């Protein structure tokens, strides 16, 4: 036997001001009729649509979301390596070294910091830098590079970047 009830306008319903409980009932209108559903079922449907909660993380960390994230973060190799000498990145012929040689030899997420003297590295040219320089080259991703050359005689820093396609013009800092 169908239960009859007196029609009520939505505007006349009282407002629930607390968080819904799993047993609370909500009204859903689908293409055929007005129906009721439990709040817990609605949340399950939403999670399913968003693919939330379908992965088993019990074996990662301590089985909690926080534990799993912490464990996975510690496994990410986010170390940035700096080298001190050209030989450390496989460049032994310093007479013909160029910026491109150094950039090509550096692995991604690494850099080199070195002192360079032009008589030792005749092919390593930079804008008006004196014979004694400190050079820092950072290779973030393949092709994305920042180069700084500090002229020790004048305390001037020059920089240039590479965006994966072209070098920028040298700038003085």
10 Å CB burial of residue 137 (0-12, 13-18, 19+) is buried
Cβ distance 136 to 106 under 8 Å? Answer: no
**Same domain membership, residue 68 and residue 85:** no
Same domain, 90 and 153: yes
State pLDDT tens for residues 142-166: 778 998 888 888 888 888 898 878 8
Q: Is residue 104 in some structural domain? A: yes
Whether residues 51 and 32 share a domain: the answer is yes
100, 164: one domain: yes
What's the pTM?
0.51
Q: Domain span at residue 121?
A: 81-172
Number of domains in the chain: 2
> What's the gap between Cα 77 and its chain centre?
12
pLDDT in tens, 61-113: 787 878 877 777 776 666 788 898 888 999 888 777 888 888 889 988 899 98
The verdict on residue 6 lying in a domain is: no
């Amino acid at each position: 036997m169908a239960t009859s009830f007196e029609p009520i306008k939505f505007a006349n319903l009282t407002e629930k001001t607390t968080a819904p409980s799993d047993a609370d009932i909500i009204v859903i209108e689908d293409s055929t009729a007005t129906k009721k559903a439990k709040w817990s079922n609605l949340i399950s449907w939403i999670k399913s649509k968003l693919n939330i909660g379908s992965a088993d993380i019990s074996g990662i960390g301590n089985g909690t979301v926080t534990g799993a994230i912490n464990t996975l973060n510690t496994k990410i190799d986010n170390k940035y390596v700096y080298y001190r000498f050209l030989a450390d990145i496989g460049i032994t012929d310093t007479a013909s070294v160029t910026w491109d040689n150094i950039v090509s030899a550096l692995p991604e997420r690494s850099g080199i910091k070195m002192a360079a003297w032009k008589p030792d590295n005749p092919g390593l040219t930079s804008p008006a830098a004196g014979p004694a320089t400190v050079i820092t080259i950072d290779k973030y991703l393949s092709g994305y590079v920042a180069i700084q050359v500090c002229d020790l005689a004048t305390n001037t820093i020059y920089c240039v970047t590479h965006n994966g396609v072209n070098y920028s013009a040298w700038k003085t800092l």
